[in-house]
């Protein structure tokens, strides 16, 4: 009798700071099954090998639909394997099948027009960073009965988004910086993903992403993350998962509705080492300080922006400095877009794809 199709999934994912391709042994069972390979988390935490819950699978026989085109076949974790309620078999004529698989956390609309035209349209990133997901995919994986019936078929899954982390440091002992949030401003939140060639198109709808927390972080000479910690694992941070895109930096002068470029802001309180108010000029107050940044984000890369407050505090946020920002005398703060003190913030950008690569940039 015909044996059922075996599949196993192999993740090649951009992990926090290293190249990590994980290969999984093929399934030794008679139904389509996936080994636990990619940790699928519904939070804004990297997808890793340990916690994948489900994958949606589609298959083509040449240009003809084989299964899961109109509605994908869902594979859910069952012990060490992923299994579906419906079972499918390899074609008896030894015809080759082509598989497409996506994690189940994708937003947007499936547009699987043909075997050569497969897209996810209107993929939209949640405004709440905690709710953002590491969407993964694979396309073009092929197999057939004579080769894969016994051994199974491996799938290599890639990240579709870019991961963003904001760090900061302060080497100036004359000033104390306390931080209670970060802002990634003026980036596109919606786009269409071409699953076949792995590209993003039609980016639209500008969004600003804020992260706020109650317990302030005091900046030190060594850089530290400003992202919120994961609720279940303090060793992980809720990094942003955003649409890969290229932006133009805010020009550093425009304010309010005239602001069209991207920037990073930090929700902070600056005092002298003796406790004198610097920014904002309100006791126990916090306000947003910004730096213009142009972004070039590539699918599958993790970008770590390290802001250096040693010689300057940036500019007052050009759109929303916060409720503690004081625009009235006698304790008036600088106006929107104006320098807070000293020189502009300098920062470095570290890019961690599968093979780490560093680049520095000075503002």
Q: What is the structure's pLDDT at 356?
A: 36
Q: What is the structure's pLDDT at 153?
A: 76
User: Any long-range contacts for 70-76 (C-beta under 8 Å, 24+ apart)?
Assistant: 70/112, 72/102, 72/110, 73/32, 74/104, 75/32, 75/33, 75/34
Domains and CATH numbers, the chain: 33-159 (2.60.40), 162-190+204-353 (2.60.40)
pTM across the whole model: 0.86
Q: Do residues 296 and 314 make contact, with C-beta atoms less than 8 angstroms apart? A: no
Mean pLDDT by 10 residues, the chain (363 residues): 50 34 30 44 52 86 96 82 82 93 96 97 98 93 85 82 95 96 98 98 98 97 94 87 98 96 98 96 97 95 94 95 92 95 79 48 28
């Amino acid at each position: 009798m015909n044996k059922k199709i075996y599949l196993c999934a192999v993740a090649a994912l951009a992990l926090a700071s290293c190249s990590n391709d994980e290969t999984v042994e093929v399934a030794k069972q008679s139904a389509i099954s996936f080994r636990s390979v990619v940790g699928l988390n519904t939070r804004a935490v990297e997808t890793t090998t340990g916690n994948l819950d489900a994958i949606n699978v589609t298959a083509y026989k040449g240009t003809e639909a084989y299964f899961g085109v109109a509605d994908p076949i869902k594979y859910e974790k069952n012990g060490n394997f992923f299994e579906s309620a419906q079972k499918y078999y390899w074609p008896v004529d030894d015809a080759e099948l082509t598989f497409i698989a996506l994690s189940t956390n994708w937003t947007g609309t499936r547009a699987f027009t043909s075997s050569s035209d497969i897209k996810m349209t209107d993929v939209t990133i949640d405004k709440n960073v905690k709710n953002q997901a590491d969407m993964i995919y694979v396309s073009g994986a092929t197999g057939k009965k004579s080769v894969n019936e016994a051994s199974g078929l491996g799938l290599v899954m890639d990240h579709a988004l870019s991961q963003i982390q904001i760090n900061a440091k302060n080497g100036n002992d004359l000033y104390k910086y306390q931080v209670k949030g970060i802002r990634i401003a003026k980036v596109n939140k919606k786009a269409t993903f071409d699953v076949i060639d792995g590209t993003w198109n039609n980016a639209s709808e500008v969004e600003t992403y804020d992260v706020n927390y109650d317990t302030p972080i005091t900046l030190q000479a060594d850089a530290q993350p400003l992202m919120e910690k994961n609720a279940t694992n303090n060793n992980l941070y809720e990094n942003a998962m955003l649409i890969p895109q290229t932006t133009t930096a805010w020009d550093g002068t425009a304010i309010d509705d005239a602001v069209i470029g991207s920037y990073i802001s930090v929700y902070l309180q600056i005092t002298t080492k003796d406790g004198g108010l610097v920014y904002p000029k309100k006791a126990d107050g916090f306000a947003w300080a910004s730096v213009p940044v142009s972004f070039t984000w590539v699918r599958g890369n993790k970008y770590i922006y390290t802001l250096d407050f040693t010689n300057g505090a940036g500019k007052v946020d050009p759109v929303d400095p916060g409720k503690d920002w004081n625009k009235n005398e006698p304790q008036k703060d600088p106006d929107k877009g104006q320098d807070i003190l000293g020189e502009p913030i300098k920062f470095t950008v570290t890019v961690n794809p599968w093979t780490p690569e560093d680049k520095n940039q000075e503002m």
